[in-house]
């Protein structure tokens, strides 16, 4: 089982994760850290919080935090397809002998090349 998936299910169902924490204050801190961690492992970088956002979440109240979208082991199929298409075209251009000209992943700024 994918650990972040299990953690997400436990938090979304408001189940306590057994870490032998006895004080309510520590339980709230535990939940806050788990929610922030789930935000930080989002597959799309644009869905992840900035460091200042992480600090705000950690300094704020746990009740004000929202769960992020459920994490996936792999990006969603459409994103995987887009990546696969880009990767295939990248390899095609490498194999054809024109990797720098036809591959956006490997292209160089011509003004910076001596």
- Asked, for residue 49, whether it belongs to a domain, the answer is yes
User: Looking at the structure, do residues 94 and 113 belong to the same domain, yes or no?
Assistant: yes
Query: Residue 47: pLDDT band by 50, 70, 90 thresholds?
Result: very high
Go through 32-53 and write b for each residue having 16 or more CB atoms within 10 A of its CB, e for each that does not: bebbbebbeebeeeeeeeeeee
pLDDT exceeds cutoff 50 at 61: yes
pTM for this predicted structure: 0.52
Contact 90, 103 (CB under 8 A): yes
Domain containing residue 114: 74-114
Main-chain phi, psi angles of 29, to 5 degrees:
-65, -40
Q: Is 59 exposed, middle or buried (0-12, 13-18, 19+ CB in 10 A)?
A: exposed
- The total number of structural domains in the chain stands at 2
């Amino acid at each position: 089982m994918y650990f972040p998936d299990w953690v997400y299910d436990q938090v979304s169902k408001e189940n306590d994760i057994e870490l032998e924490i006895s004080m309510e204050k520590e339980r709230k801190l535990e939940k806050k850290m788990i929610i922030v961690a789930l935000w930080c492992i989002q597959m799309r970088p644009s869905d992840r919080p900035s460091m200042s956002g992480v600090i705000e979440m950690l300094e704020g109240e746990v009740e004000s935090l929202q769960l992020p979208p459920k994490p996936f082991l792999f990006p969603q199929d459409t994103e995987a397809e887009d990546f696969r298409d880009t990767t295939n075209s990248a390899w095609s251009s490498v194999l054809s002998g024109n990797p720098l000209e036809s591959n956006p992943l490997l292209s160089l700024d011509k003004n910076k090349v001596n």
